[in-house]
Amino acid sequence: MPKVISIHSYRGGTGKSNFTANLAATLALQGSRVAVVDTDVPSPGIHNIFSLEPEITNKTLNTYLWGQCAIEDAAYDVSANVGLVGEGKVFLVPASVKADDIAKILKDGYDVKRLNDGFRRLVKNLELDYLFIDTHPGLSKETFLSIALSHVLILILRPDKQDYQGTAVTVDVARQLKVRKMLLTINKVYSGLNFDILRQKIEETYGVPVAGIFPLSEDVVQLASEGVFCTRFPEHLISQEFRNVAGQIID
């Protein structure tokens, strides 16, 4: 049965989009049909990682939310861009990067019901195994919705005080929304830190399992938001950690 996974972080810069793209690609590499929806309408970005050029994407999540197209018309097959061969597929529903479109959606808002209906239609019509929802940092309407309807919520944080505080807020909200399964992922961890102690401390603080710990990696930085790391370097330690996280989603 299909699963919906929301990826969220309280603050920006945690590497959320990169994480989402890599986790999606990891599942697709294992033969799954996966879609990613960029609900970060104020500051879209994940299309870069999937090498989807905004020039060719005249239909976006915005177009759908304004009732001008079906959600599947705004879904682009980026499997080839990611370097996928075989049965697995990755689709991306990008948000518009046009300043005027962003202004319009901020000014007029949108019907959150329509976003919900779009997610469900996408899962059905593209026969998805996994739907990933990439959200804007902080708490917003789409964050609440994605948390409420997802099967798995993954919160990404860095080991610093501001992220710790923000994550506590999000965990409260997620519990209020009766989230079904919550996982934490710690990203950009200095290699000098003891990962086991960090994991233990964080799990104790939030009462939420840590699904994965990712070191601050020059290898990832080199790709700099262009291309998906896991499909390029499948044997890298980081790619192995993504497979570990993917395993906990499949369960």
Q: Which residues bind other proteins (CB under 8 A)?
A: 1-4, 112-113, 116-117, 120, 123-124, 131, 141, 144-145, 148-149, 172-173, 176-178
CA–CA dist 12, 124 (Å, integer): 31
C-alpha gyration radius of the chain: 17
Compare residues 1 and 85 and give the one whose CB is closer to other proteins. Answer: 1
Compare residues 97 and 148 and give the one whose CB is closer to other proteins. Answer: 148
Distances (CA, A) of 93 to 9, 47, 62, 103, 165: 20, 8, 10, 19, 31
Cβ at position 156, least distance to other proteins in Å = 21
Cβ at position 123, least distance to other proteins in Å = 5
Compare residues 138 and 234 and give the one whose CB is closer to other proteins. Answer: 138
Compare residues 144 and 195 and give the one whose CB is closer to other proteins. Answer: 144
| First and final C-alpha spacing in the chain | 12
Complete DSSP assignment for 190-221: -TTS-HHHHHHHHHHHHS--EEEEEE--HHHH
Q: What is the DSSP letter of 168?
A: H
SS3 163: helix
Distances (CA, A) of 147 to 40, 125, 181: 14, 22, 10
Cβ at position 119, least distance to other proteins in Å = 9
Cβ at position 176, least distance to other proteins in Å = 5
Cβ at position 105, least distance to other proteins in Å = 18
Compare residues 98 and 141 and give the one whose CB is closer to other proteins. Answer: 141
Q: Phi/psi of residue 7, each to 5°?
A: -110, 125
